[in-house]
Chain A
Amino acid sequence: MSNEKRAQGAFFQRDRNWHAPAYTPTYKTSVLRSPQKALLSLDNSISEMTGPVFGHNQIGELDNDLILNFSQNGELPVGERIIVHGRVMDERGLPVKGALLELWQANAGGRYRHKKETYLAPLDPNFGGCGRTITDDNGDYHFRTIKPGPYPWPNGVNDWRPAHIHFSVFGDGFAQRLITQMYFEGDPLIWKCPIVQTIPSEEAVRQLIAPLDMGNTIPMDSLAYKFDIVLRGRRSTMFDNRREGN
């Protein structure tokens, strides 16, 4: 089999014990939003093995630069300047090229730019909080942004979200579709957060914590954090039962 051939096989089964279950009552919103009946388990069909492709022509030049993409009159947002970079790969360690990454986050004070957001921390006139990019041929990506602040949220009486960046990831098959959150090394709020605690194992949570990456910091400019993302891997197609013309 040639390495150039576009991945086509069915995806590895999802390890549902690694992910959060649907019903997690300490994260209260899940109580009425969690399916209660068993999922219907199926091997992929072509409908899930395929997925759309995103082109660089759909993405603007500053879409991955949150420091500049909402700046007004050339003024910069307040906060710690950081680079977030990493590789999107699959469970076999193969790079996922052309993956669409979309991210959103609060500003340095922990405030989102959204109509329904009511936290008293102020908006930053120069910070929008959204970015997107497409991975290169090695599966690599990078963003530039400011480090988001933690914020309180209505769940328990005194629950706080650790600093985090939300990621939406689109690989090459619809079955790989994933939304997750990236946390920052050393944040004591991570282990107190009811949303983090929906994930059953500490080992799985650690997969969401980006380490400080001094090697990739830009001196006198920006710190760097590395966040690799793993999507479902594909089975080899060698012995898959495909009929002529399928």
Chain B
Amino acid sequence: MTQSLNYFKETPSQTAGPYVHIGCTPNFSGLNGVFSEDLGVKILNDQAEGTRITVRGVVYDGKGAPIKDALVEIWQADAKGLFNSPSEIRGAADPNFSGWGRCPGEMESGEFVFETIKPGVVPFKDGRPMAPHITFWIVARGINIGLHTRMYFPEEIDANAADPILSRIDHKSRVPTLIATQNGSEYRFDIHLQGDNETVFFDI
């Protein structure tokens, strides 16, 4: 006999179902008058430091159809690479930038949009710099457990090449699924759940 580890099991995930918006973005879904405002709508205010960017995309299913009932959340560092989080121990993040955003897909097109800033560099646990990136989490009807991935920036060619996460991807042909396309301050990051362009999702 040994001692017991006494660990609990994580509560099993279940799909968000078709009506996740009722609970997470009720004002967006037309359920007004309960919550004063939907959380995660505004990531920054006018005083936030850094380069303003817009991130747009669509989550596509295995037949290439846009998913219209997804909920997408992002989490990122500020312009200096610090997170606005109590668990951040490296310094104080920009108080004008929350780093967290939540967006339901638009009901007809499925497109999500975030108005944010370009994040700074965050160190990997061995101290190597990670290329600037935005962490994504995606849920929808038919997704049994939320999907984690990251968006990287196409102009960061050298930083991306040295990134400790991107360099862990065995099939180099899949790396571009994590890199947005750029048009000025607009970035496009489409997410493919299946198919030749299936986005790399993380067990992290």
Contact = CB atoms under 8 A, between A and B. Distances in A.
B147 interface: yes
B172 interface: no
Contact of B19 (A20, A104, A196, A242): A104
Contacts of B184: none
Contacts of A179: 13-16, 20, 139, 146
B98 interface: yes
Given A53-B85, A93-B6, A241-B125, A130 B22 contact: yes
B87 A49 contact: yes
Contact of B126 (A31, A89, A233, A241): A241
Interface in A22-68: 22, 24, 27, 29-37, 39-54, 58, 60, 62-63
B23 A166 contact: yes
A138 interface: no
A181 B23 CA distance: 12
A165 B31 CA distance: 17
A132 interface: yes
A177 B20 contact: no
Interface in A192-220: 195-196, 198-199, 204-205, 207-208
Interface residues of B, number: 84
Contacts of B7: 12, 91-93, 233
Interface residues of A, number: 98
Contact of B62 (A31, A49, A168, A205): A31
A103 interface: yes
B35 A132 contact: yes
B202 A42 contact: yes
B87 A58 contact: no
A166 B19 CA distance: 9
B84 interface: yes
A33 to B, nearest CB: 4
Contacts of A199: 12, 14
Given A173-B87, A175-B204, A230 B34 contact: no
A46 B9 contact: no
Given A40-B200, A47-B130, A114-B19, A6 B67 contact: no
Interface in B109-129: 122-127
Q: Is the interface of B mostly helix, strand, loop or mixed?
A: loop
Interface string A213-246: 0000000000000000111110000001111011
Interface string A76-101: 00000000000001111100000010
B106 interface: no
Interface string B7-41: 11111111111111111101001110111100100
B46 interface: no
B12 A42 contact: no
A242 B147 CA distance: 28
B37 to A, nearest CB: 8
A58 B100 CA distance: 14
Contact of B125 (A37, A43, A178): A43
A20 B125 contact: no
B155 interface: no
The 10 closest A-B pairs by CB, nearest first: A104-B23, A29-B142, A33-B142, A50-B85, A32-B62, A20-B144, A52-B100, A39-B203, A104-B22, A50-B83
Interface of B: 6-24, 26, 29-31, 33-36, 39, 61-63, 65, 67, 69, 73, 75-77, 83-90, 98-100, 107, 122-127, 130, 133, 135, 137, 139-148, 150, 165, 168-169, 174, 193-194, 198-204
10 contacts: A7-B87, A30-B143, A35-B198, A36-B194, A40-B201, A40-B204, A43-B204, A53-B86, A114-B18, A132-B23
